[in-house]
Structure 1
Amino acid sequence: MDRQRNVVLEALLDEFDFTHRSLADEVNRAAEAIFGRPGDCGDRHVRRWISGEVRWPWTRYLLPLERIFDRPAQALGFVPRGKSSANLPRPPRPAQQEEGPVQRRQFGRLIAATAATTVTAALGIDQTPTHGRLSMSDVERVHERIGRMDAHFFSIGGGPLISVSTAYIDRLRAALDGCAYGDRVEKALHGAISSLYASAGWACHDSGDPTQAALLHTASLQSAMLAADPSAVARAWSNLAMQARLEGRHREAVQITRAALDNRRARQDPHIAALLHARLAIGQARTTDRTGAARSLLAAERAYDRVDPSRPAPTWLSFLTPAELSGLAAITHQALGQYGRAEAATVQALDLLPPSMRRNRTYYSVQLAELQLAQGERQQAAATVADLDASALDSRRITDRLTAVRRTLNA
């Protein structure tokens, strides 16, 4: 049988940040937990598995590998020698012991990497060609995958999308370097890369890494300019304005948003215009420009009124619904100290949100509890977060705020 490299296992090593030696050590630790005696795995074993020299390792190695990566042996790229060899024994797991801080961090990284691998495989990122000639049909498939990534974010948050997005960017850059294409395809690919940088920036923001988020949003703007796409440029400027606001540079955020609105294409697109005006209102509220904030909220509503239901928004703007506009208005009122109006707008946002947007629902539920606490409504705040479960979300930004609310309630 011809030797075939185990690219699945090789990718997992890279994803989990394992060297050959460190994986061998981890196999030995898992073997001791399973069989009650230390394992004898070395880096030579790992090299032979990856090279394809050994396509179905012995059970004493396979069971630890399955436990480490939390998936069956065949999902690790191994090929059984026959039907009987594929039926591995299933020893009982040892009694759960208390994990130390290092173990918890390793487990968290493992879960995140597993999720990233799963999303990557589900999207079929590795199916994007890096040789031959590209057509607009190829680009359409790229954008369809990006749309599914955005849907994942709106459902549970950023999490694995950081590594997934950056991996896809590398794939598309390889396509730009290795394929033949026309000018239209080239610009569309740069537009896709800009979108991926924007998604990765939001994922970093959700994961509590503002420094990396700022770098990614800047890269998004550069790719948008190469794409000569006014909508992508407006999106990048909007994200940079939000980044400035989160870092406390509120006047700069206002200036950036106004610059984005100077783009005629952005003003003419009712979805983009509504988002920019709503975010401008927040910036103006943070700089105590009450009149400007009120005008911008009204402009956002008028822009959204121009939306044609028969022409859906780009996938990255699918979150911009009447619910989101109410939520952004609530943030504006909160910044102005109008807590009663902010609470009412947040309630309206929750009433309008579709069930599929679990991340946003949790976000605005936490915001509602914060507003209730700010007004001394402790019982209402406790009721708001009583049944709130953020365990399925992958957003440090939201979970940290929820933890802070519960800590205040328990104080």
Structure 2
Amino acid sequence: MAAATAAGAALTAPSARQRRLGSADVDRMNAKLAAVVSMDNKYGGTQELQAHAAALADETVHLQNTHISSARIRSELYGVAAAFTASAMWAAIDGRRLSEAEPYLNQAVTLAGLANNKHVLFRVWGHAGIMYRHLGRPADSIAAAEAARATSITRTDPVYASLAMARLATFHADIGDERSALRAIGLAQSNFDRGDLAKNRPPWMDFYDQAELDSLATFAHLRLGKWAEAERHAHRCLGALRPELQRNRGLTYANLALAQLGQGDIEPAVAAARKVPGAMADNGRVRMLLNDFTTRLTTLAPRNSETTAWLDYRRAAA
């Protein structure tokens, strides 16, 4: 109780005793943000990561309200707080805890607005599009993707424009709009080819490369039922995927399995599904894809020995 009283007194101390925040504080919080992004790449959207990112967002906002700073430092810290909130939102989406994801959206948009940070706002709307897609709200997912595409950063950096178009392609594919989906994939590739990959960008953009573009193209082609094209993009993705992106590897092997199963290739499909890293099989989105694969496999070939082997494998891993 004494410690709590002392802490409370420190928080309400006169402004003359408040420390002035500076670039070192921004760098310290950005280093924590980079660690959060790295954990997401490796482990996916766990509940622990979601809670950790949300706590860091609160810590960053609290830092502002208990210290003084210049307008520039204040804006930068609001941007970091928005990025932490977006990371918490994304962890909830990736883990398929959608009811927990939605409340983060307004908070992230507000903080990004206070920061006047176009990069973070792009990220927030990009995540919102994926959230709406999983909530079964296709019009909202397209609107969110268009909002991300409309941010000014996409006009100055083709890599951001490429990511916006690649995500938009998957949402058009969701509603069966093949023409718009394929056009968006083409624009995503042409923008990516024009981009400067050596340009300094926030750590949460590090995941986007040719492998990720092929991964999103795989998703789009799967939703359009274009199995051979989906398989081609999945193989291209796996050939270029960086080893630290374990969650993405799980997603791609699951998608490859679905693409091969769509062509009736049961044995290679089961082999691909079994290559999903064990630690990733319980990730929300990966688990959803593997459950879809299992349903389709048992419908297509209920008595096949490969189906039996796959079901035994899933039960043993449960």
TM-score range, shorter chain: 0.7 to 0.9
C-alpha contact 2:253 2:275 (8 A) present in aligned 1: no
Offset at residue 400 of structure 1 (A): 4.5
Q: Which residue of 2 aligns with 1:170?
A: 58
Which residue, out of 18, 23, 27, partners 1:136? 23
- Aligned-pair Cα RMSD in Å: 2.4
Residue deviations 1:204-225, cap 9 Å, x none? 1122211111221332111111
Which one has more relative contact order, counting CA pairs under 8 Å at least 6 apart?
2
User: Paired residue for 2:153?
Assistant: 265
Equivalent residue, structure 2, for 1:316: 204
Alpha carbons 1:339, 1:375 under 8 Å: kept: yes
Larger Rg: 1
CA contact (8 A) 1:218 1:236 kept: no
Q: Post-superposition shift, 1:142?
A: 0.8
2:43 paired residue among 142, 156, 179: 156
Q: Which residue of 1 aligns with 2:287?
A: 399
User: Partners in 2 of 1:250 and 1:236 — Cα distance?
Assistant: 17
Counterpart-to-counterpart distance in 2, 1:221 and 1:337: 35
Give, as a single letter, the amino acid of the residue that structure 1 aligns with 2:53.
S
Equivalent residue number for residue 194 of structure 2? 306
TM-score, normalised by the number of residues in structure 2: 0.83
CA distance in 1, matches of 2:29, 2:40: 17
1:354 paired with 2:235, answer no
Note the 1:2-401 alignment, pairs <5 A: 132-159=19-46, 160-391=48-279, 395-401=283-289
**1:273-308 CA distance string (max 9 Å, x none):** 111011111112222322222221111112112222
Tell me the amino acid that sits aligned with residue 139 of structure 1.
V
CA deviation after TM superposition for structure 1 residue 131, in Å: 5.3
Cα distance between partner residues in 2 of 1:393 and 1:306: 35
In 2, the alpha carbon distance for the partners of 1:146 and 1:267 equals 26
Contact persistence 1:330–1:346 (CA under 8 A): yes
Kindly state the Cα deviation for residue 394 of structure 1 after the two structures are TM-superposed: 6.5
Identify the residue that residue 8 of structure 2 maps to in structure 1.
none
Q: Report the Cα distance in structure 2 between the residues aligned to 1:283 and 1:393, rounded to whole angstroms.
A: 24
Q: How far apart, CA to CA, are the structure 2 residues paired with 1:289 and 1:385?
A: 28
Q: Does the CA contact (< 8 Å) of 1:224 and 1:232 recur in 2? A: yes
Shift of 1:237: 1.3
CA distance in 2, matches of 1:393, 1:387: 10
> Displacement of 1:267 after TM fit?
2.6
Contact 2:138–2:175 (CA under 8 A) maintained in structure 1: yes
Opposite residue 283 of structure 2, the aligned amino acid is S
Q: Provide the rounded CA distance (Å) in 1 between the counterparts of 2:119 and 2:153.
A: 7
Structure 1's 211 and 262: CA in aligned 2 closer, same or farther, altered over 3 A?
same
- Aligned-residue offset at 1:348: 0.9
Greater fraction of residues in helix: 2
Deviations 1:208-259 (A, max 9, x none): 2111112213321111111101111111111111211122211222222223
Q: Which moved more, 1:383-392 or 1:302-311?
A: 383-392
Residues in 2 aligned to 1:132 and 1:169: alpha-carbon distance in whole angstroms:
20
Deviation at 1:200, TM superposition (A): 0.6
Partner Cα separation in structure 1 for residue 281 and residue 26 of structure 2: 30
Structure 1 segments (4+ residues) deviating >4 Å = none
Task: Note if contact 1:327-1:345 (Cα within 8 Å) is conserved in structure 2.
Answer: yes
State the secondary structure of the residue aligned to 1:288: coil
**CA–CA separation in structure 1 for the residues paired with 2:281 and 2:270:** 20
The CA distance in 2 between the partners of 1:264 and 1:172, in whole Å, is 26
Q: How far apart, CA to CA, are the structure 1 residues paired with 2:18 and 2:251?
A: 43
Whole-angstrom distance in 1 between the partners of 2:171 and 2:284: 23
CA distance in 2, matches of 1:196, 1:177: 17
1:163 Cα offset (Å): 1.2
What are the Cα deviations for residues 306-351 of structure 1, in whole angstroms up to 9, with x where unaligned? 2223313321011101000001011111121111101111111111
